[in-house]
Homo-oligomer: A and B are copies of this chain.
Amino acid sequence: MAQSPLQIKLHSVIFGTGTKAGKRFDVALIYAIVLSVLAMMLESIGAIERAYGPWLYGVEWAFTAIFTVEYLLRIYCSPNPWRYIRSFYGLVDLLAILPSYLGLFVADMNYLLMIRLLRVLRIFRVLKLVRYLSEANILMRAMMMSRRKILVFFSSVLVLATIFGSLMFVVEGPEHGFTSIPKSIYWTIVTITTVGYGDITPQTSLGQLIAAAAMLTGYSIIAVPTGILTAELTTEMQRERSLRRCSECSSAGHDSDALYCKQCGSTLTD
């Protein structure tokens, strides 16, 4: 289906970031998102809600109306509406207005509007011109490359937490707050991650010994994801640097400001 000039014009404003109008639209959108999130935060505070409830309610619906119109316009001017609707941003855009309407029927649903904040991630699109995205890309690539190692790590942590949790359930028992295995696993995760609320604590000597072991384990294994990511990141950053090859001797690892090959002395071309 061919697009009308209006659709093309709208598309460049709403989806584009290259033109001045497109950039302004995105900046305005981000302000609107942050304002609507702030309104909801204020609404959640009892004292403020009692004093200005109706006003904040009005603000919330005004933003919902604006975002609904924006969502419909996005569908209208998209060359492939269905693909937009199913995309990540399409889903976030829908979720950013849905709870308002559901809130008419179910109480407290409107607080889920905080998901609107995810839309702020578009900010990185606006900032594309500066180098933020390339930084995020290195981070992303390092994470993607270490995702298998991190998966292995996380499954080990969960298996560990389950076994420690069951052990503590048997040793401490319901009378010391370890009322069930899921709750004991919750306690183990609180302990291994070194959060340590202190709402449940071991009371028996054996329990405290096992807890100390869990703590030292958690304290040590935090080194694992850090080590993985750092090693990956160092390699990634060094690779960025070493992507230049000499056309004469095809040696790599030249600095980005090198003019001559450091192995054979011939001129570097790119």
Chain A contacts to B: CB under 8 angstroms: 37, 40-41, 44-46, 108, 111-112, 114-115, 117-118, 120-121, 123-124, 130-132, 135-136, 138-139, 142, 148-155, 157, 159, 162-163, 165-167, 169-170, 173-174, 179-183, 185-186, 189-199, 201, 205, 208-209, 211-212, 215-216, 218-220, 222-238, 241-242, 251-267
Contact = CB atoms under 8 A, between A and B. Distances in A.
A265 B268 CA distance: 10
B267 A265 contact: yes
Nearest to A184: B44
A196 B190 contact: yes
Nearest to A124: B152
B136 A152 contact: yes
14 contacts: A46-B174, A111-B166, A130-B148, A135-B152, A157-B216, A189-B212, A194-B219, A197-B197, A227-B233, A230-B231, A230-B234, A231-B233, A252-B256, A260-B261
Given A199-B201, A222-B226, A263-B257, A193 B215 contact: yes
Contacts of A201: 197, 199
A41 B166 CA distance: 9
A149 B139 contact: yes
A216 B154 contact: yes
B241 A235 contact: yes
A162 to B, nearest CB: 5
A223 to B, nearest CB: 4
Q: Which of A118, A121, A139, A179 gathers most chain B CB within 10 Å?
A: A139
A120 B185 CA distance: 17
Contacts of A163: 114-115, 117-118
B263 A258 contact: yes
Ranked 8 nearest A-B pairs via Cβ: A114-B166, A258-B262, A195-B196, A197-B198, A260-B265, A227-B229, A44-B181, A227-B230
A43 to B, nearest CB: 8
A209 B216 CA distance: 23
Nearest to A254: B262
A162 B265 contact: no
A193 B234 CA distance: 24
Contacts of A197: 196-198, 201
A3 to B, nearest CB: 33
A196 B199 CA distance: 10
Contacts of A254: 262
Q: Which of A195, A242, A265 gathers most chain B CB within 10 Å?
A: A195
Contacts of A220: 150, 154, 225
Given A45-B180, A255-B262, 7 more contacts: A121-B159, A136-B149, A189-B215, A197-B197, A197-B201, A230-B230, A258-B262
